[in-house]
Amino acid sequence: MLKRIFPLLLLILTTSCVEDVDFEQAEDLSISPVLEASLIFFDFSASQFQEPTGTAFVVEQDELELDFFNEEFIQDNLVKAEFFFEVRNTIDRVFRADVIMYDVNGNVTHMFDILVTAGATSEVTETHTEVFEDALLDQLKNTTRMELILTMFPSISGIPLDDTSIGTIKMRSKATLFFEIDTQ
């Protein structure tokens, strides 16, 4: 019985439809991946901003190395970037977050700030999206370091912050990177 089925299967397989395949299509392949990554985040309580007079400016700062923008893959394929920042404040003070970007020589490549209103009675949420395209994208590709300077402004009422002060200020941020990769 196997001897009768085998020729029949062979006949079906050799006469089935086959479409021509254009293997050169792979040479024209273009893909557009999107990558998201965390940037800077913090969570400070009001007591961390102690100042005895209520009239002083208090500054906290942090920095992040961004030397991956110098990678050849990034230089050749990154077409857009968006940096998203969200700041939540329940402290009875106004804050400003300055974001400063530097190149390998310490020169400023780009800067912007986010003003955060006082959040005494309820949480205040401020968001900011910085979009890098065209000339701004070229500046970003030259960036190797990003610095965040958080400044708390003096109290309007002059009441100082101490160990018993309540509230927090929190920031989270992310980078969304858009790529265009051509195989040509």
Q: What is the pLDDT of residues 116-163, one digit of tens each?
A: 999 877 899 999 999 999 999 999 999 999 999 999 999 887 888 888
Task: Return the CATH number at 118.
Answer: 2.60.120.260
Determine, yes or no, domain membership for 167: no
Strand partners, 147: 63, 100
Determine, yes or no, domain membership for 145: yes
Give the number of domains in the chain.
1
Are residues 111 and 140 in contact, defined by beta-carbon separation less than 8 angstroms? no
Determine, yes or no, domain membership for 95: yes
- Amino acid (one-letter) located at 145: R
Determine, yes or no, domain membership for 176: no
Whole-structure pTM value: 0.80
Q: How much of the chain exceeds pLDDT 90, in percent?
A: 60
Confidence grade of residue 16 (pLDDT, cut at 50, 70, 90): low
Among the ranges 40-44, 89-93, 109-113, 155-159, which has the highest mean pLDDT value? 109-113
**What is the residue range of 73's domain?**
39-159
Determine, yes or no, domain membership for 172: no
Determine, yes or no, domain membership for 43: yes
